[in-house]
Amino acid sequence: MVNIKINGVEHAIEAEADMPLLWAIRDLVGLTGTKFGCGMAQCGACTVYVDGSPTRSCQTFIGDIDGAEVTTIEGLKGKVAETVQSVWAELDVPQCGYCQSGQIMSATDLLASNPKPTDTDIDAAMSGNLCRCATYHRIRAGIHEAAKRLEA
């Protein structure tokens, strides 16, 4: 059994230690905002925060994070996150939307540490998040717009 706090709620997870956090979140805890795209840390659709750091949950084994605090898209809060999310909706960034939970987790983390990212900073921080619909153009625009609003 592994104890993980997810979005502020303690969960005692009955599963083998080698279960990826992704499947614990989706199939055991029942939160579906975190997505499965590749299962090998290649696409970023499964990005969550583990103790505050963006992490690919498909390659994080629950046995390794006993006692950790996990934040998923459902638990994402705060001024930066809310700004990113409202800008995302206003600029109609998503197409299919499947990658967007991961994009928002990564974008929020970027803005939290770098309030005025350049295009190069954005490309570096976001290149682990695949978007097969190629919404990249609007992701960049969204991050710049959120930065502008947060500065004001």
Tokens of 51: 């103790």
42 binds ligand FES, rule: CB under 6 A: yes
Q: Which of 150, 17, 124, 37 is nearest to 26 (CA)?
A: 37
26 binds other proteins, rule: CB under 8 A: yes
98 binds ligand FES, rule: CB under 6 A: yes
104 binds other proteins, rule: CB under 8 A: yes
The region of 7-15, 60-68, 72-80, 126-134 touching ligand FES under the rule CB under 6 A is 126-134
Asked if 17 and 63 count as a contact pair (C-beta separation under 8 A), the reply is yes
3-state SS class at 18:
coil
3-state SS class at 53:
strand
The 8-class DSSP code of residue 16 comes to -
Minimum distance from residue 152 beta carbon to other proteins (Å): 20
Minimum distance from residue 47 beta carbon to ligand FES (Å): 7
Site string for other proteins, 106-125 (x = CB under 8 A): ----------------xxx-
Q: Cα separations (Å) of 142 from 15, 66, 102, 147?
A: 39, 35, 14, 8
Where do contacts with ligand FES occur on this chain (CB under 6 A)?
Answer: 36-39, 41-46, 56, 58, 94-100, 131-133, 135
